[in-house]
């Protein structure tokens, strides 16, 4: 079952949610952020190079130009490798655990696996951030020796920051699986 509706994140940019149900106790949710826009890249690159040209005009030193090129390249590589998240996914396997992974624009993926015995619940929390109240989905972890206390909170979909309608969908799906396995 594949679904693709248009949701937005908290700043208003369009994101997309993809729910895949591999079996009755295994579901995967992928939230994709909007890609890097060409316009923004052009604006940044042009501004950096204009500054470099201005500096070159004043100092007449060609090292300024080459360093500007180097800075632009390194900055772009750094941005797509460490900063720009392409999609984040949540894989829930009943009675085994939850896998959270973020994949960056350069293809790098970081994955975290949380065992089912450590998961207390998945909830939607609200947070006050300056002038807005934002909702985020998070996993409540517990220590197996203390089943009633929440030991830590792991927020999900931190880079894409979807809005409440998207989160509610994911939450309902997850709860169906979690309630069966706990």
Specify the residue, 66 or 179, whose C-beta has the smaller distance to another protein. Answer: 179
CB of 50 to another protein, least distance (A): 40
CB of 72 to another protein, least distance (A): 29
| 98, β-bridge pairs | 92, 114
Specify the residue, 91 or 137, whose C-beta has the smaller distance to another protein. Answer: 91
Q: Are 49 and 31 in contact (CB under 8 A)?
A: no
Scan for tokens 């201005």, then name that residue.
Answer: 54
- Cα-based distances in Å from 22 to 54, 83, 91, 130: 57, 30, 10, 40
- Cα-based distances in Å from 50 to 44, 46, 88: 10, 6, 36
CB of 165 to another protein, least distance (A): 31
| 108, β-bridge pairs | none
Specify the residue, 94 or 162, whose C-beta has the smaller distance to another protein. Answer: 94
CB of 138 to another protein, least distance (A): 19
Specify the residue, 47 or 152, whose C-beta has the smaller distance to another protein. Answer: 152
Would you tell me which residues interact with another protein (CB under 8 A)? 23-26, 93-97, 115, 117-118, 144-145, 181
Tell me which H or E stretch contains 65: helix 62-78
């Amino acid at each position: 079952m594949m679904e693709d509706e248009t949701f937005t994140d908290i700043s208003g940019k369009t994101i997309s949610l993809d729910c895949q149900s591999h079996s009755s106790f295994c579901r995967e949710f992928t939230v994709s952020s909007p890609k890097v826009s060409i316009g923004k890249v052009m604006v940044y690159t042009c501004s950096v190079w204009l500054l470099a040209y201005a500096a070159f005009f004043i100092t007449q030193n060609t090292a300024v130009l080459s360093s500007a090129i180097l800075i632009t390249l390194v900055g772009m590589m750094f941005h797509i490798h460490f900063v720009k998240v392409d999609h984040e996914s949540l894989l829930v396997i009943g009675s085994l655990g939850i896998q959270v992974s973020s994949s960056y624009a350069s293809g790098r993926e970081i994955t975290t696996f949380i065992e089912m015995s450590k998961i207390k619940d998945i909830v939607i929390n609200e947070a006050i951030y300056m002038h807005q109240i934002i909702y985020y989905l998070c996993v409540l972890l517990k220590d197996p020796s203390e089943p009633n206390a929440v030991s830590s909170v792991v927020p999900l979909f931190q880079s894409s920051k979807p809005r409440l309608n998207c989160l509610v969908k994911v939450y309902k799906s997850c709860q169906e699986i979690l309630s069966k396995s706990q």
